[in-house]
Structure 1
Amino acid sequence: MKRFENTVAIVTGGRSGIGREIALRLQDEGAEVFTVQRSGDDRFPSISADISDAAGAQSAVDEVVARTGRLDVLVNNAGMMQESTVEDMSVEDWNRNLAVNLTGPFLMIRAALEHLRTTHGTIVNVGSLEGLGSNPGHAAYSASKAGLHGLTRAIAVDHGDEGIRCNAVAPGWIDTELNREFIESLADPQEFSREIGRIHPVGRSGKAEEVAALVAFLAADEASFITGQIYSVDGGRMAQLSLP
């Protein structure tokens, strides 16, 4: 028997990148998967919604439950990153980053809780290493992901006695199409790729399917005594001290 048979899952931002691999992994293990994002999805049943809007998040959850009768797994993966220091960032841009990366998961969780109580469901949030540290010029991104890590713990504490678990994964540098495009845009892509290898003890960047494997474990019954945790998926990057 597959781990997620008779299970309904929502993956926000499941149309591409890490979200797509999470959706594929859950589906491969038996789940009925719906993706939620602003645009459609040619691979999975999808709902077009702005999850940073309360009505959009509620309607997305309501539609899935109306179509399936239940909700077992919520994966909050949708996010954005805008490079800017605090000094250079407008209030509008700051609010937009927090709306997508932090308020969106909050609204999706709030809409899903009544259904997850019924199924003793699970929530997995996709945070970031930048919720633990920061790269230059990533003030809003780091702040929003640190907030998402805090929200993860709060949900675990407030709703554990209702049978709901909530954990987060914190990916580091993952080899997604978006990151590959960024590398190819640089003056010396090969040197950048070599540098990425050097900052990871495992000698390479991560794969989206490696993040998906951890998400699937945390959503499954094997992880029934794990909640309120933030798991780094970073090839040892945060464990390695820089050279003097």
Structure 2
Amino acid sequence: MSLDFGLTNVHVLITGAAGGIGLETVHTFRQLGARITAHYNSNAGELQNIPGIVCVQGDVRDESSVDRLLTEAAEKNGGPVSVLVVNHGVWPTNDTAIADMDLKQWNNTVAIDLTGPFLLCRAYLRALRTASDAVKETASIIFIGSTAGKFGEAQHADYAACKSALMYGLTPSLKNEIVMIAPRGRVNSVNPGWVKTPMAEEKLKDRAFVERALATTPVQKVATPADIARQVAVIASPALSGHVNGMNIMVDGGMEGRLLFPPSNAQ
């Protein structure tokens, strides 16, 4: 039996597509025959060398830029977006407790990691209202969440708060709203733990940090971008996951929680 994902010629918009999980997701959907619009912020990078995809620049913090992104995607890639993969995000590399975090950092993280997804979903859903039945039939929003959204992350509470909002605020809310526009529309969140991406590269060079991060993970490995991208494709597939809606899918090797960070010195 051949496995058909039902994504041939489906228009997929992937945000933050220039590196890490985003770039691997582009390759995965391309192999499945989807029409891909790849969003980037400032540097298209390797996206420019991938044949058959449409690259569109946009600042997810800016309302007009996001609206233009969805319009441009439709104009350049054969019609409205059917599958929206909200992958972009920022994880400030400086370890900063809430007590020491300045408002500028907090506001920037929220603008990119939470306001950006809101603006993208709003523009996507508005365009979906006037889309064809064929586009609506495969309508799907997939957020890239994080174990930080489930367990929290000390010294990165700005990031954790935004991911939690996507996973436990927007996902269950939007899965009830999207069906008012597209009766078979779905909204889910795919939530990785640590992944070998450029954003995490420096942290993952610290062996002690990796050991601590994996301490409660039965599958003792850091995920690859392909681990996440393949799960996104499965959830996007109307053939494989057409009855999966409003779910938080943890792709974290079975992680059960976090050790105290920094470790306790108590005897």
Query: Structure 1 length normalisation: TM-score?
Result: 0.90
Partner in structure 1 of residue 175 of structure 2:
156
What aligned pairs does 1:45-60 form with structure 2 within 5 A after superposition?
45-60=54-69
Match 1:109 to one of 121, 127, 138 = 121
Percent sequence identity over aligned pairs: 29
Match of 2:18 among 15, 33, 42: 15
Q: Give the superposition deviation at 1:226.
A: 1.2
CA deviation after TM superposition for structure 1 residue 237, in Å: 1.1
Alpha-carbon contact 1:196-1:204 (below 8 Å) kept? no
Cα distance in 2 for residues equivalent to 1:197 and 1:91: 31
2:162 matched to which residue of 1? 144
- 1:91 aligned onto 2:113: no
Contact kept in structure 2, 1:183 and 1:193, CA below 8 Å:
yes
The reply on whether 1:211 has 2:246 as its aligned counterpart is: no
Q: Which amino acid aligns with 2:80?
A: R
In the TM superposition, residue 190 of structure 1 has moved relative to its aligned partner by 4.1
Who is 1:199 aligned against? 216
* Greater shift in the superposed pair: 88-97 or 37-46: 37-46
Q: Deviations over 1:101-156 (max 9, x none)?
A: 11101101111113334322111000111111122201111111111111111110
Q: Report how far residue 194 of structure 1 moved.
A: 4.5
Secondary structure of 1:132's aligned partner: helix
Q: TM-score, normalised by structure 2?
A: 0.82
Matched, 1:183 2:204: yes
1:28 matched residue in structure 2: 31
5+ residue gaps, structure 1, are none
SS of 2:173 mapped into structure 1: helix
Q: Distance in 2 between matches of 1:165 and 1:175?
A: 28
Equivalent residues of 1:76, 1:105 under 8 A apart: yes
Separation of aligned partners in 2, 1:2 and 1:216: 8
Q: How many residues align?
A: 239
After superposition, what is the alpha-carbon deviation per residue over 1:59-109, rounded to whole angstroms, capped at 9, x for unaligned? 000001112223111000000112322221122221111110111011011
The 3 A distance-change label for structure 1 pair 25 and 90 is same
